[in-house]
Amino acid sequence: MMQEEIQNNICGLSPQAFEKEIEGKKTALYILKNKKGHEIAVTNYGGALVGIMVPDKKGTLANVIQGHDSIEGVINSPEPFLSTLVGRYGNRICRG
């Protein structure tokens, strides 16, 4: 996907709001879009899903999850693993 397409995502999220360095690693926003125009917005910080745009019964696209509009929102959330794919123990359970 081209940079200008990321800027004009239908979720209305700003990629710049998800750019930060945490413990020496850069965070970013990724937009995945299919041929029907459905869109998923995900960060590389825990794989947090911050937007899922799909059509309702009338065909109007709507965000169907409670996500955050910035990386700060993800980090400072009272529910730190809300919509994340990887929780606090990801890749850390020995013989689990």
Q: Give the pLDDT confidence of 66-93 residue by residue, as tens digits.
A: 888 999 998 898 987 778 887 666 666 6
For 25-40, b/e burial (b = at least 16 CB within 10 A) is eebebebebeeeeebb
Domain boundaries, the chain: 1-7+24-86
For 71-93, b/e burial (b = at least 16 CB within 10 A) is beebeeeeeeebbbeeeeeeeee
| Bigger pLDDT: 18 vs 3 | 18
pTM of the model: 0.78
